[in-house]
Amino acid sequence: MNLPEKVTIYEVGPRDGLQNEAALIPVEVKAEFIRQLLAAGHTAVETTSFVSPKWVPQLADAAELLELIEAPEAIRMPVLVPNEKGLDRALAAGVREIAIFGSATETFAQKNLNRSVAESFEMFRPVVDRARSNGLQVRGYLSMCFGDPWEGAVGADTVAGHARTLFDMGITELSLGDTIGVGTPNQVTDLLTALGQKGITADQLAVHFHDTYGQALANTLTAMQHGITVIDASAGGLGGCPYAKSATGNLATEDLLWQLNGLGIDTGVDLHALVRTSLWMAEQLGRPSPSRAVQALSLTDSSTVSKELT
């Protein structure tokens, strides 16, 4: 099937998964969540965002959270920054990697960033320049890569053009977001082909799928067959998008792990340890996890699995 032997799961639960929770989550709970994710074997965990507390109150404790967690330098612990003010705070906190969040469509750029795609890229340029000059890695996100609830289908060439601009700006990795979960495997193939024609290779890319139409795992499999080895996912399937109401949660890390384990692909992440973590976080949030794998493994009658989960 032309699949990689190993992939990196880029865990977005602490940031993307929790940022839209209405009830404020104590910083100690967030810190414990991250500790458990690292203990389960994750090597890339996006921890928080230095966005204005006015817009995302849930992440107002970003600096305090980073003081509560420690990780070896080999572990990726990026934070999202929206602008230079956010970068100032991130640098003061001593982060080693940041992420910027852009849109492939004009309507979403206006709704999410209150500016055009071109204007948002100009806002990112000094952020990337300063981050790189300070020795930081810079991940870029492009949202709405396959479809937009206001504009409809998004062309692969359009996305590839924006991606080229971001790489020319100096980003070190780009995550392709299916923000409303409408993508299908053939669209994934078309987009990765278009990116290749722009000189962007699979080792520079990650994929970020939502499961609105149940296509996230199929799309992930297709992406891996085209050489992608970094996959975004959220423990327990947490997350969504506040500006696109049709978006359901992110691809659940446990569902992804079930697939990857079955394919014999190494991730270094312990599925059952992660299930325990997601069950614990579900208790903190007061609702069950939407992850199918979490639900199945927590209810199984298998004595072996039951012992591991208790």
Phi, then psi, of 116 in degrees rounded to 5: -75, 170
Other beta carbons less than 10 A from residue 148's beta carbon: 22
How far does CA 145 lie from the centroid of its chain? 14
Of 104, 131, 241, 294, the active-site residue reads 241
Phi, then psi, of 80 in degrees rounded to 5: -85, 135
Whether 241 is a known active-site residue: answer: yes
CA distances to 184, 266, 271 from 259, rounded to whole Å, are: 17, 11, 11
- Angle CA(100)–CA(231)–CA(53) in degrees, nearest 5? 35
272 contacts 296 by C-beta, under 8 angstroms: no
Selection from 198, 197, 141 nearest residue 168 by Cα: 198
Residues serving a catalytic function are 241
